[in-house]
């Protein structure tokens, strides 16, 4: 008992004399005296060895000891923050804080959302489908049977070789027409959808081509849908997208899934039609393919071509973004260079 009291006394002297020049030293003090394996706990543990008649007196001594350690710790902590020692490395709360960087949307997403919003105002709903497709939805249903030479228009990544596996061919979709096929499969006309999404083609990556890119395709099937509707819809789209001054022209073209087919050009926004490298000095840039849905495609989905007609179109989001924001290299879109991406902050 005597011995214990002496020990406490010497600890008290130690505590009174203790100093701390920084937060770490104050913490070391706390651990030594007040931690779960600290001296105060250990001394408290001695209580059980104290004879009953002395317990009350000893309890008071212990409490005072504990209080002393706690008060000292509070004091050390405070001094550590404001002390004058050169060793201190306290936090300087007067320094300006670190900027919290705000992220922003990717340019392709910004343009995708704009396209979706413009067609949304015309009553087009968004439809989505899988990026890994079967041969039928990507090609067959779109009037591109096996061995059709037009398959060469879209170099394809095949996932399996049906000749080897004996099953159906799986591939990475080459256009979002596959989503149109899935919509026609499930829904009866009237159909009015746009299909935004990523597509893949087996291309060598360069400033002008990439092995994946993004499309928005559209499909409108109803009674009395005409080529005039197609023209007016697409004209409305480019005016909303690029402004009222933009001119359009349609050139006859070929797609197996539309007849007649046309590609649409807009007047070059960079040189205003005078001729520049972007428009290859023609004053015009191609932005989409379109046409009246081929009767064979309608027949593939049991849609009566005598009652219903429709138009379809497809455009690359990269191309629209290039014209809108003057991006001259396709690779920039997927390099994740923050200096490129930051230029689009503020846009929604």
Least distance to ligand PHE, CB of residue 158, Å: 17
Q: Strands of 212-222's sheet, edge to edge?
A: 125-126, 191-200, 212-222, 309-316, 284-293, 258-267, 248-255
Q: Which stretch binds ligand PHE (CB under 6 A): 35-43, 131-139, 285-293, 321-329?
A: 285-293
Query: Is the CB of 79 or the CB of 154 nearer to ligand PHE?
Result: 154
Binding test (CB under 6 A) with ligand PHE, winner from 114, 143, 258, 300: 258
Examine residue 291 and tell whether it contacts ligand PHE (CB under 6 A): yes
Examine residue 197 and tell whether it contacts ligand PHE (CB under 6 A): no
Examine residue 177 and tell whether it contacts ligand PHE (CB under 6 A): yes
Burial class (CB in 10 A: 0-12, 13-18, 19+), 212: middle
Examine residue 25 and tell whether it contacts ligand PHE (CB under 6 A): no
The DSSP bridge partners found for residue 179 are none
- Exposure of 215 in the CB half-sphere (CA atoms within 13 A): 26
Q: Is 167 helix (H, G, I), strand (E, B) or coil?
A: coil
Least distance to ligand PHE, CB of residue 128, Å: 16
- The mark string for 309-338 relative to ligand PHE (x by CB under 6 A, - otherwise) is ---xxx------------------------
Which parts of 200-219 interact with ligand PHE (CB under 6 A)? 217
Query: Is the CB of 73 or the CB of 255 nearer to ligand PHE?
Result: 255
Length of the chain: 348
How many residues form the binding site for ligand PHE (CB under 6 A)?
A: 11
Query: Is the CB of 79 or the CB of 180 nearer to ligand PHE?
Result: 180
Least distance to ligand PHE, CB of residue 257, Å: 6
Binding test (CB under 6 A) with ligand PHE, winner from 289, 294, 310, 327: 289
Query: Is the CB of 288 or the CB of 327 nearer to ligand PHE?
Result: 288
Query: Is the CB of 312 or the CB of 320 nearer to ligand PHE?
Result: 312
| Closest to 217 measured CA to CA, from 335, 280, 297, 302 | 297
Examine residue 175 and tell whether it contacts ligand PHE (CB under 6 A): yes
**Beta strands at 212-222 and 309-316: parallel, antiparallel or unpaired:** antiparallel
Q: Which stretch binds ligand PHE (CB under 6 A): 9-17, 187-195, 235-243, 308-316?
A: 308-316
Burial class (CB in 10 A: 0-12, 13-18, 19+), 297: buried
Query: Is the CB of 58 or the CB of 311 nearer to ligand PHE?
Result: 311
- The mark string for 70-89 relative to ligand PHE (x by CB under 6 A, - otherwise) is --------------------
Which parts of 216-245 interact with ligand PHE (CB under 6 A)? 217
| Closest to 332 measured CA to CA, from 172, 213, 204 | 213
What is the DSSP annotation of 71-114?
A: HHHHHHHHHHHH---TT-----TTSPPPP-PPP---HHHHHHHH
Radius of gyration of the chain (CA): 37
Helix residue spans in the chain (DSSP H): 2-17, 23-29, 39-45, 55-82, 107-121, 135-138, 162-165, 177-186, 227-242, 295-300, 317-325, 338-341
Least distance to ligand PHE, CB of residue 324, Å: 20
Least distance to ligand PHE, CB of residue 104, Å: 29
Q: Which two tokens stand for residue 43?
A: 């001394």
Least distance to ligand PHE, CB of residue 326, Å: 24
Q: Which helix (DSSP H) or strand (DSSP E) does residue 290 occupy?
A: strand 284-293
Least distance to ligand PHE, CB of residue 314, Å: 3
Query: Is the CB of 76 or the CB of 144 nearer to ligand PHE?
Result: 144
Longest dimension (CA), the chain: 111
Going by the DSSP 8-state scheme, the letter that residue 188 receives in this structure is: P
Binding-site ranges for ligand PHE (CB under 6 A) = 175, 177, 217, 255, 258, 289-291, 312-314
């Amino acid at each position: 008992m005597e011995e214990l009291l002496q020990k406490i006394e010497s600890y008290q002297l130690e505590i009174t004399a203790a100093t701390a020049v920084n937060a770490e030293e104050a913490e070391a003090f706390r651990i030594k005296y007040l931690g779960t394996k600290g001296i105060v706990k250990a001394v408290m543990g001695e209580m059980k060895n104290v004879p009953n008649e002395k317990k009350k007196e000893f309890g008071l001594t212990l409490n005072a000891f504990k209080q002393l350690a706690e008060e000292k710790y509070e004091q050390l902590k405070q001094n550590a923050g404001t002390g004058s020692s050169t060793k201190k490395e306290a936090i300087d709360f007067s320094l300006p804080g670190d900027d919290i960087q705000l992220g922003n949307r990717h340019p392709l997403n910004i343009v995708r959302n704009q396209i979706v919003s413009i067609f949304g105002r015309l009553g087009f709903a968004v439809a989505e489908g899988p990026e890994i497709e079967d041969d039928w939805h990507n090609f067959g249903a779109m009037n591109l049977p096996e061995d059709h030479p037009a398959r060469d228009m879209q170099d394809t990544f095949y996932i399996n070789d049906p000749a080897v596996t004996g099953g159906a061919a799986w591939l990475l979709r080459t256009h979002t027409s596959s989503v149109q096929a899935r919509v026609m499969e499930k829904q009866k006309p009237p159909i009015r959808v746009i299909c935004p999404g990523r597509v893949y083609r087996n291309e060598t990556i360069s400033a002008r081509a990439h092995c994946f890119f993004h499309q928005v395709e559209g499909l409108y099937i109803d009674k009395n849908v005409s080529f005039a509707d197609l023209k007016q819809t697409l004209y409305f789209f480019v005016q909303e997208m690029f402004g009222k001054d933009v001119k359009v022209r349609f050139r006859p073209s070929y797609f197996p899934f539309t007849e007649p087919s046309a590609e649409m050009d807009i007047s070059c926004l960079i040189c205003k039609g005078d001729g520049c490298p972007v428009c290859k000095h023609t004053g015009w840039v191609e932005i989409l393919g379109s046409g009246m849905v081929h009767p064979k495609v309608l027949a593939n989905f049991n849609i009566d071509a005598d009652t219903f007609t429709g138009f379809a179109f497809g455009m690359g989001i990269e191309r629209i973004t290039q014209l809108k924001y003057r991006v001259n290299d396709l690779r920039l879109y997927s390099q994740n260079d923050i200096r490129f991406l930051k230029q689009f902050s503020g846009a929604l």
